[in-house]
Amino acid sequence: MAEYRFRSRSEHTLDTKGRLNIPSRFREVLREIYSETLIVTNWDNCLRAYPLSEWEELEEKLIDQGRMQPGFADFVRYVISGVTECTLDRQGRILLPGTLRSEFEIEKDVVLNGMLHHFEIWEKNAWAAERLKTRNRFSDFSPGLSSLGIL
């Protein structure tokens, strides 16, 4: 269903225990199509949070197709080593483990970015730098947007 996707961006503050309040619009997506279990792992410059079923699809792709990619074992090792299953508590929060927070220097302020089937968790300053970098090269996306019929 197209109406239930992770969209938009929001800023949040972790509490002293490292708990992150998941926005109500993201919780609604989880309730309506998935479950309240997220798989959080390290990625490139941020953490990624996947609903369990989306994560399982990604794992299947890694199992079925990943071994055909040269040098892919390093990527798999990095991403799988960070996997943490996080279930929303009654207040709609997840606990981000200290190991994942320290990997990206996440201490307090974070930005959540909806990515349709998953969402990203960025340290606030890292997100600001990434956003600026992407905005400055926005014209690079024109050929791809054109091929999709968006431009």
Evaluate whether residue 125 is within a structural domain.
yes
| Residue ranges making up the domain that contains 46 | 9-138
Evaluate whether residue 118 is within a structural domain.
yes
Q: What is the pLDDT of residues 95-141, one digit of tens each?
A: 999 999 999 999 999 999 999 999 999 999 999 999 999 999 999 99
Contacts 24+ apart (CB under 8 A), 76-81: 78/42, 79/41, 79/42, 79/43, 80/41, 81/42
Domain count, the chain: 1
What's the pTM value of the predicted model, to 2 decimals?
0.92
Greatest Cα pair distance in the chain? 46
Whichever domain contains 124, its CATH number is: 3.40.1550.20
Q: Catalogue the E-assigned strands of the chain.
A: 9-13, 19-21, 37-42, 47-51, 84-87, 93-95, 109-114, 119-123
Q: Quick count: other Cβ atoms within 10 Å of Cβ 112?
A: 24
Evaluate whether residue 26 is within a structural domain.
yes
Evaluate whether residue 74 is within a structural domain.
yes
